[in-house]
Amino acid sequence: MQELDSSSLTNPGSKRSNNEDCFLSLPDQALWMVADGMGGHDAGEVASAIVRDTLKEYSGLPLSESIQRAHRAILTAADNGIGAEGMGSTVVALKHHGETFEVAWVGDSRAYQYSPEHGLQALTTDHSYVQMLLASGAINPADAETHPDKNIITQCLGSQEMDTVKVDTLSRNWQAQQWLLLCSDGLTDELSQTEISAILQRSRSPEQATRELVKAALNAGGRDNVTVQIIAAPKQPKTGFFSALEWVPVFTHNRRLDAAIYSAALLALFALLYWTTF
């Protein structure tokens, strides 16, 4: 199975000395994950690291099962005096299955899909108090963005009140020129979807996009740890037309539109040369 182009970056932010976020990037095993720990210094870091290590150990299992194992591993660690009682973590994970991909999540770490044609679209729905209010019609989407309780989540890995957690999953077909974005709320609390989409549109690679997104989140305040992963869709076999697009400069991240702009510029240049010569 083809390895995918991807990039991952985490930063403690501008206000915190410790980083309770962590990520897992295993392109050779077609697995990526972002975890956002909670429980304070020396606890949140432990919880998110347990999620990372458990998903790595059980990478061959379905995502929902490996995430359940991570939940039990956090509870067991706390019972054994590792970390702290009450520690927990969110998780959002991606698994590549050839022509399709699977996303699974618990909490409010998110997954988005982006393409030049369709823009930025959320794939996940937060397990949060504000999402419950939104689903019930008690508030509207504009209220949700600024609600004072927006960071209260309704479940997490390691919750002592839950023997098992509800792991939400979805499967989709890969689309041409598609990027998938996994992130902690340190990104989405600082940047709007419009701002995130604009950065993705002008980025030429997953590496550039992750770097620019983290930089923008820090510039916007960086009040929390921020973690970003971007995974590009499998590359399609190139026909003669798409092979010719390789030499076209990048203007919009849409290769067809870039080709049209570049062709128009060349025609204008040839016309100018013609009229100045004759």
Order of strands across the sheet that contains 226-232: 6-11, 226-232, 179-183, 110-115, 119-122
Residue type, 165: V
Domain 6-233 has CATH 1.10.10.60: no
Digit-by-digit pLDDT tens for the chain (278 residues) are 789 999 999 999 999 989 999 999 999 999 999 999 998 777 999 999 999 999 999 999 999 999 999 999 999 999 999 999 999 999 999 999 999 999 999 999 999 999 999 999 999 999 999 999 999 999 988 888 888 888 899 999 999 999 999 999 999 999 999 999 999 999 999 999 999 999 999 999 999 999 999 999 999 999 999 999 999 999 876 555 544 555 566 566 565 677 778 778 778 777 777 677 76
Assess contact for 195 and 169: CB atoms under 8 A.
no
Cα distance between residue 144 and residue 99, in whole Å: 35
Q: How many CB atoms lie within 10 A of CB 166?
A: 10
Contacts (Cβ under 8 Å, ≥6 apart) of 174: 99, 100, 101, 233, 234
Contacts (Cβ under 8 Å, ≥6 apart) of 118: none
Domain ranges in the chain are 6-233, 237-278
Q: Taking Cα atoms as reference points, which of 174, 173, 177 lies closest to residue 116?
A: 177
